[in-house]
Chains A and B, each alone.
Chain A
Amino acid sequence: MRIRSAWRAALAAGAALVMLSACAGAGGSADTSGGGKTLEIWHAYAGQKDKVEFIEYALDTFKKAHPDIKVKEVSAEQSSYKTKLQTAMASGNAPDVFYTLPGGYLKAFVDSGQVLRLDDELAKQGWRDSFLESSLPSVTFGGSTYAVPIDIDAALVWYNKALFDAKGWQVPTTWPEFLDLAEKIKSAGVVPVALGNKDSWPATFWFQYAEMRLHGSGVMSGFGAGDKNATFGPEAKDAAGVLQTLAQKGYLPKGANGMSDAEANILFLNGKAAMVLNGTWQIGMSAEAPAGFELGYFPFPTFAAGKGNQSDVLAGVAASFAVSEKAKDKEAALAFLRHITSPEVMTKYVQIRKTMVARKGATTPEAAGPLLAGVVQDVIGKADTLDPFYDTAMAPKTTETYYSTLQGLIDGSIPPAAASEAIENAAKAGK
C-alpha cells in the first residue's frame, strides 16, 4: 500500500515535470493579454539591440491600435530562425504571421501551398503602389505576391575617407582606375579591400557586380522564373576573373576565406584596410569606429566594354512578412501586415536601423541620416535596375555550390572558366 502511494506520488511528480518542461519549451514566446482573437507572430528580430527596439515598437503600437487582438509573439535570432520556421512548415504548423527571407526561401513555402496570396488585399487602398516597384519581384511568384517587403539592402563600395584624404587617394569610377588605386594602397602597406569570406556571402557581391556590369542585370530572376534561355553568359568567366584577380594581386586580406565579416570590419575600421564592398548595413557596422574615422562610399566601378547597364545597383529585399494559408483570423493577420508596413512604423525602422525600407517615402533624410540619404539619392536613385542578391534568389543547393566555388576562386584552386561553368550548371539544375 505504501509502495503504491509512493509510486503514485512519483507519477504525479513526473507529470508535473512534464508540464514544467512544456512551459519551458514555450520560453521564447510571450503572451500578451487582450481580447478573444489570438494572433501568433513569428519574427527574427532578436539578439541585436536595434532589431529588438524596432519590433517592440511595431508590436506595442499594433496592440494599442487593435486592443481586441491577442498577440502571441515568438522570436528567434536570424540563423536559428531560418531552421525553426523551416521545421514548423515541414510539420504543417505554420504560425499565422511570419517573418521570412524573400526569394528561394519563401518560394519553397509558396510551392507547398502554405502561404496566403496577398493580391486582392494589396489592390485595396493602393497598398501595392505604396511599395517601391523594384522590391516586389522577390516576393512574387507565378504572378502572385505572397509577402510584403520590409527593408532593402544595397551593396556598394565603402571607403575610409580620412585615410583617403591623408594619402591623397582619389575615388575611382572605372575598373582600371580601381585596380590602379588598389595597387597604390597595397604599396602603402594597407590592405586595399577588406573581405572576410568565412561565411561565403561577402565574396558574392564581387562576382555579381562584375556580372551585372559585364553581362547585365536580371540573370538570376530568369533562372528563378524557369526561363530556359537564362544564362550567366560567356561574361561570367570574366566576372569570376575579377574576383580571382583581386586575390592573386594580393588586394584581399591574407586568409580571407578564414576570416569572418566582423574580423574584416575590424581591419577596415582601424585603417588597416581601405575599402570594403558591403551592404548598407556597413553604416551601422561603422558606428563603433575609432575617433577620426569617416565613412565614404562610391558606386561599384564601371567596365568600359561591359554589356550591362553601368549604373545598376546590387540591391534586394532583406526581409518580408507573410501570412499562413491556415491562419484562423486572416483579417487580424492582414491588419498586422498593414501596420508593420505603415509609413509611421517604417520611418521608425529607418530611424533605428539606418537601412532603407521598401515603403515609398519612408526613408526620409531626417530618419536616415546624411549617409544613407546620400546613398539613396546618389546611387540607388540613379540606378536603372536593382538586381536582387543572387544567393537569396537561388535554390538553397545552388547557393552552396555558388559559395564554395567563389571560395575556390579566391584561394586559386578553381580557375575562372571552371568556376563560371560550375555556377551556371548549378543554377540550371536548381531552376
Chain B
Amino acid sequence: MSTSTRSVAARRDARAALLFLAPAVLFLAVFVAYPLLTAGVLSFHSWDGVSPRQWTGLTNYERLLGDRIFWGSLRNNVLVALTAIVFQVGVGMVIAYWLVRVVPRIKRFAMFVYVVPVVISEICIGLLWGFVYNPYFGLLNGFLNAVGLDELARGWLGDRSTAMPAVLVVMNLTYLGLYILLFVAAFENVDEAVYDAAAIDGAGHYRTFFSVSVPMVWSNVQATTLLAVVSSFKTFSLVYVLTRGGPSNATDVVSTYLFQTGFGNFEAGYASTIGFAQILLTAAVGVFVLGLMRRGKRGEA
C-alpha cells in the first residue's frame, strides 16, 4: 500500500517535472536542435540560398581541409583564446586579488571602471576603438606624435602586421572586467581564517596568491578558463566592426569568415560546413582545456 502511494506521488512529481521542463525543451528543440540538424544536412549540399539545393556529399568538407582562409581564421581564434587565458583570466585574477586583499578601499570604484566596457555594446566599443586607431586623427598616433615617437605611428588596422594585435588589445581590454568581476566574487568567498593561517606562516602576497588564493578558487579558474576559450572561438562583433576581417582576411576569425561565406558569397552549404567544424572544434578544445586543468589540479594537490 505504502509503495503504491509513493509511486503515485513519484509519478505525479514526474508529471509536474515534465510540465515544467516542457517549455524549455520545446524552446531548445525549435531554436537549437532543429536549426542544428538543418545546418548539418545543409553542410553536405551546395546552395546559394535561392535555387534548389544540390547534394554534394563530402565536397564541402574536402574544400574546408584545403581552405587557407579557414585555417588562417582558425589560427586567429587560437590566438584570441591564448591571449584571453593570459590577459583576461590570468591578469583578471591578479587584479581581483589585488583589489580584494591589497586595496579593498578602492575596490568598488575600481570594479565600476573595469566593468564599464562589459556592459557597453561591443559595436560601440569597436567604433570607439576604430577612432582611437585612426592613423590621422586617432588618439594613439596623436599620443605617439606628441611624445616624439613619430616613426611608430602607423595605420594600425590597415597594416597586415599590426591589424590582428590591434584587435587582440581591444578584445582583452573589453572583456577583462568580466573576469575581474568573477574572481573578486570568488576571492571574497575564501575563508579569512585561511589567510590568517598563511600570514602566521609568514607568507607574503606572492606566496599567498599562488599557494592559498588560486588553489582555493581552482574550480572558478577552470570554469572561467573554459568560458574564455569558448567565447574566444565564437567571437565576432569586435572583429567585424574593427576590420571586417581584413586586410585580405588577415584578421578573419571563423565566425566572420562564416558570415562572409553565408551572407556575402551566398554559399549557404559551405557556410554550414564551417559552422559545423566550428562547433566540433570548440567542443574539442573545451574538453581538452578541462582535461588539462583537471590534471593541473591533481599536480597541485
Q: Are B48 and A108 in contact (CB under 8 A)?
A: yes
Taking A108-B48, A258-B133, A408-B247 as known contacts, 16 extra A-B pairs with beta carbons closer than 8 A to each other, sorted by chain A number, are A90-B50, A108-B50, A108-B266, A197-B158, A200-B246, A254-B153, A255-B154, A255-B157, A258-B157, A258-B247, A259-B157, A272-B136, A396-B48, A396-B264, A400-B260, A411-B160
Q: A108-B48, A272-B136 are in contact. Are A198 and B264 (CB under 8 A)?
A: no
B247/A254 in contact, CB under 8 A: no
Asked if B135 and A198 sit within 8 Å, CB to CB, the answer is no
Residue in B49, B52, B157 with the greatest tally of chain A CB atoms within 10 Å: B49
Decide: A414 near B248, CB < 8 A? Known: A258-B157, A272-B136. yes
Shortest Cβ distance from residue A411 to the other chain B in the assembled complex, whole angstroms: 5
What is the interface of chain A mostly: helix, strand, loop, or mixed? helix
Question: Is B237 on the interface with A (CB-CB < 8 A)?
Answer: no
B265 at the interface (CB under 8 A from A): yes
- Tell me which of A112, A200, A397, A411 has the highest count of chain B C-beta atoms within 10 A of its own C-beta: A411
The yes or no answer to B183 lying at the interface (CB within 8 A) is: no
Cβ contacts A387-401/B at 8 Å (1 or 0 each)? 000000000110110
| A267 partner residues in chain B, CB cutoff 8 A | 136
Would you give the 0/1 interface string for B158-188, flagging 1 where the beta carbon is closer than 8 Å to chain A? Answer: 1110010000000000000000000000000
Question: What are the residues of chain A within 8 A of B135 when measuring CB–CB?
Answer: 253-255, 259
B249-280 contact mask (Cβ, 8 Å, vs A): 1 or 0: 10000000000100111111000000000000
Return the contact of B130 from the options A89, A111, A260, A272 (Cβ within 8 A): A260
5 contacts between A and B (CB under 8 A): A255-B156, A258-B246, A259-B158, A400-B265, A413-B248
Determine which of A197, A256, A263, A400 lies in contact with B264 in the assembled complex, contact meaning CB atoms within 8 Å.
A400
Asked if residues B158 and A408 are in contact (CB atoms below 8 Å), the reply is no
Q: Check if A266 sits within 8 Å of B137, measured CB to CB.
A: yes
A256 surroundings in chain B (CB, below 8 A): 155, 158
**Interchain nearest-CB distance for A77 vs B (Å):** 14
How many residues of chain A are within 8 Å of chain B by beta carbon? 39
A residues lining the B interface (CB < 8 Å): 83, 86-87, 89-90, 108-109, 111-112, 114, 191, 197-200, 253-260, 263, 266-267, 272, 396-397, 399-400, 404-405, 407-408, 410-411, 413-414
CB distance from A321 to the nearest CB of B (A): 18
* Docked complex Cα distance between A263 and B132 (Å): 12
Q: Could you tell me how many residues of chain B have their Cβ less than 8 Å away from some Cβ of chain A?
A: 34
What distance in Å separates the Cβ of B252 from its nearest Cβ neighbour in chain A?
9
Contacts of B155 in A (CB 8 A): 253-259
Kindly count the residue-residue contacts between A and B in the assembled complex, taking CB atoms under 8 Å apart.
Answer: 111
Q: Assuming the A-B contacts A253-B136, A258-B163, are A86 and B266 also in contact, with contact meaning beta carbons closer than 8 angstroms in the complex? A: yes
- A258–B158 CB distance below 8 A: yes
The verdict on B243 contacting chain A, using a C-beta distance below 8 Å, is yes
Indicate whether B51 reaches chain A with its CB closer than 8 angstroms: yes
CB distance from B144 to the nearest CB of A (A): 12
Q: Is the CB of A411 within 8 A of B50?
A: no
Residues of chain A within 8 A of B157, CB atoms compared: 198, 255, 257-259
Task: Assess the A411–B158 pair: CB atoms within 8 A.
Answer: yes
CA distance A257 to B160 in the complex (A): 9
Chain A hits for B268, CB < 8 A: 90
B134 interfacial by beta-carbon distance below 8 Å: yes
Whether B244 sits at the interface, judged by CB under 8 Å, is: yes
Chain A residues near B136 (CB, 8 Å)? Answer: 191, 253-254, 267, 272
* A404 engages B248 (CB within 8 Å): yes
CA distance A337 to B166 in the complex (A): 48
Nearest chain A CB to B276 CB, angstrom units:
20
From A197, A396, A407, B265 is in contact (CB under 8 Å) with A396
